[in-house]
Structure formats: C-alpha cells, structure tokens
Amino acid sequence: MKTIGILNGPNLDRLGKREPEVYGAESLADLEKRLTKKAEALGVSVSFFQSNHEGALIDKLAQWADEGVTGVVLNGAGFTHTSVALRDAVAASGLPVIEVHISHIHAREDFRHVSLTAPMCKGVISGLGFYGYEAALEFLGQ
C-alpha cells in the first residue's frame, strides 16, 4: 500500500484560530480527518507531521524518504518563501512532492509570490483551501 506524507509547517497547528478570514474556520485536526477519509477511498495510507521548526520538517522528509514513503504533500507555510534548507531537503529526498497552500499566495503580499521550494516539487496548488490537499493526495495516490 502506498503511503503519502502530509507535511505542514509553521503556524498550521493554529488553523481555525489564526486568521480564519484567510485560512478558514477548520482546524488541523479537521484537515487530518478529511485526508484520512480521502486516503481510505483511494486505498492509500497517510502519515501526518506538523512542526513550527524548520529542522524538524527537514528531518521528517529524510525519514520518510528512508522509510519508503511514496510521495509528500507539503505546506511549508512561511518557510516556503524563506528556507533554502527546506528546498534542498525536498530535492534531496527524491520523493514526488506537491506543494500546497490554503490561501492564494499570488493574491497576497509580494513576498509570498516567491516559493523557494516550488521548483523542486512536481506541482503546486494554491488557493483552493483544504481541497488543495485532497487534490494533491489524489494525484500522489494514483
């Protein structure tokens, strides 16, 4: 059975509380329930990890690559725009990675328009809310 990693970066543990006008009213736990249900329908398993710490995200990518995870849905949050180290970890993992953003990053502040990690990813989904994660999971679960 394929296993897809769902990797969420800083402040995503605050979903439902942090800027609900931007990120919605649902929590990270709600997202994980939704993705677990979607994974069951696709016949794949999911592994979830969230951290506010850059090194923890990098370590998890390497761990998943070594464990044979078949793909990763990545929401690097603020690190998307700032972390060369996360970019390098995505490249070094050898895994197909789909970058996901809940909000439409190109309709927001200028600094959010540049993703350091996107060039290392197989694709990017932005602005579709939690559905973006489902679409990425469906793609990787094929």
State the average pLDDT over residues 38-44. Answer: 98
Which phi and psi angles does 30 have, rounded to 5°? -65, -45
Out of 23, 53, 106, 133, the active site residue is 23
Q: What residue spans define the domains of the chain?
A: 3-140
Does residue 131 have an active-site annotation?
Answer: no
Instruction: Please compute the mean of the pLDDT values over residues 83-94 and round it to a whole number.
Output: 98
Q: What angle do CA 59, 63, 68 make, to 5 degrees?
A: 150
Q: What is the pTM of this model?
A: 0.94
Please give the pLDDT value at position 104. 87
- 71-75 and 97-101 beta bridge pairing: parallel
User: Right CATH number for 3-140 from 3.40.50.10470, 3.40.50.9100, 3.40.640.10, 3.40.50.2020?
Assistant: 3.40.50.9100
At residue 78 the predicted structure's pLDDT band, cuts being 50, 70 and 90, is very high
Catalytic site includes residue 101? yes
Alpha-carbon span 9 to 129, nearest angstrom: 16
Query: What is the mean predicted confidence (pLDDT) over 121-131?
Result: 97
Determine the average pLDDT of the residues in 60-71.
98
- pLDDT bracket for residue 126 (50, 70, 90): very high
Instruction: Count other Cβ atoms within 10 Å, centred on residue 65.
Output: 16
| Burial bucket for residue 85 (CB in 10 Å: 0-12, 13-18, 19+) | middle
Mean pLDDT of 78-102: 97
Q: Which of 101, 104, 113, 133 is catalytic?
A: 101
Contact 15, 113 (CB under 8 A): no
